[in-house]
Chain A
Amino acid sequence: MIQIYCDLVFEEPVEIPFSIVEQLLKEYFPHSDVIIKSSAFDNHFLINIKMYVIELSWEKLLTALRLIRGHIQESGIELHNIILGSNQRLYTHYNRFFEDNGIWIDGLLVQEFDSQALLEFLKGNNAIQIDHWYFISFEQSDEDTDDEGIENVAPDEHIRVFGKRVNGSNTQSGVPVSLKIRTMEGYTLTDYISKTYQDALHPENRIGGLNVILTTVLQMNNKVNLINHYSERANSSEDLFLFSLPSLNLEVIDERDKTHIANLASSGDLIIKDIILGE
């Protein structure tokens, strides 16, 4: 088992359910043991995470930590630093932590792993060495999600072909992929959703699917509020990730299952007279 210590550093005491942090870590390291507690240091509040993992993927760890930070920031709380080490903290006198906000990786940890993969990983993430620490600035990681590379895309044939390829069907596996786009004025959200996903759904119009896809796409983009305007022709652009069905954790039911309610309804062998959601 590999042991990793991770501290989340805040300016003041915060109330963040540890379960959320644990959930996000477990999503990337399902077979890990995670112990979380809190402590205080030099007027700062720390959430201390001790993690035992079978196998460590640095990329996954960084993604999980960025997601945790994103989640915390969304609730209006400023996360100053994330500090990673393999041992109990030895940094009590290290003031640089509070000057630059980002992810600090203890050089001892790097030495301990002595792994080319880790060094390559640090390089790939533009980590810089400061004393015996490796530092990945939050600004740098935010840069990756900035405007650069986001292209205006119309809900046209290209999007339809892309959707057909990545969503999968009964005869073809889909692939978890997302297309980063900027929507264009004059089109509705429905235009984008139907163009991207219609081919994957049952051609029979008695069967739905686009509504739940629309709400799931917005949910995963953290843009659920757009649901109020989904059928309006937009007069401004919106950055959106169009996730493939496998990425949305959705799957089209097997059309060979002749007893499935959706297949029966689409073939006309069953009439669904009414569906009422909720009491």
Chain B
Amino acid sequence: MQFKVMIMGFFALGFLFCSAAPSDSAEQNVLNIAGATTIQPVLEVLADDYQHKSGQTVQIQGGGSSRGIEHVLQGHGPLGAVSRALTPEEKKELEYVTIGKDALVFIVNKRNPVESIDRDTAVRLFRGETKNWNELTNWERSVVLVTKEMGRSTLDLFEKYTGIHHPDNPEDGENGRVDESAYEIASNLDGVTLVAGMPGGVGYMSLGASEYLRDKGMPVKILELEGYSMDRDSIVAGDYPISRELNLVYKEENKDLVQGFLDFCLGRTGQEAVRDLGYIPVKEPQ
């Protein structure tokens, strides 16, 4: 019996060592990135080009910004994608590079006559107090809420802006919690698809993803927020109420391993991909 336990222990230890510390050669050949699904499309566009250019394989997984931080801190991979500014604590442990900017936008179905929204209206909607769009317009249709799951930086921004917290957030929001009837989604892609397919839908998503999909024909409408329409100048100037950084994070000790890819993201090809997918480049591609 003891022997069996020992054998199992060795296997478990072996597994832990293998997963936590991959061999140097494997590390050099594979750049494993995880984190924000907002940044994921940009990285996917760049991965093939970079692979071709450098010979290094780029593997990308989503999971949200929180996962991006954990991914690097726990040594699962050298790079994490985080679609928000880093906290002071995170900045002590991690290095980061901002590759673009994005904003959080409120979206509704294209059929909805509503054109703009402000903080109070968003609070009443997401607390479940406004049940029907006829309370805001002359359109008769039940409100269907779409919110993000925990661990997503889009949710963090929404919580900070509205003061309404996710039902599972350990802390109460100053304005309460998102109504239990809300549909919970993970990525911007399924969020936009959900609002687009339900006439009464309303959600908050990444500007880049929403604009990109809307321009491709997704039946959604991006609402003006507190009088600001979605023009890039107001985001760059910092006037738009909810904007954010798109960051790639890494540990100082892995700098050599990731530097090539970071340079590629900040170079012409990288910044073009940022712009083409609806985000705001930090350097205007020449």
B is a partner of A: no
Residues of chain B touching chain A, judged by Cβ–Cβ distance below 8 Å, are none
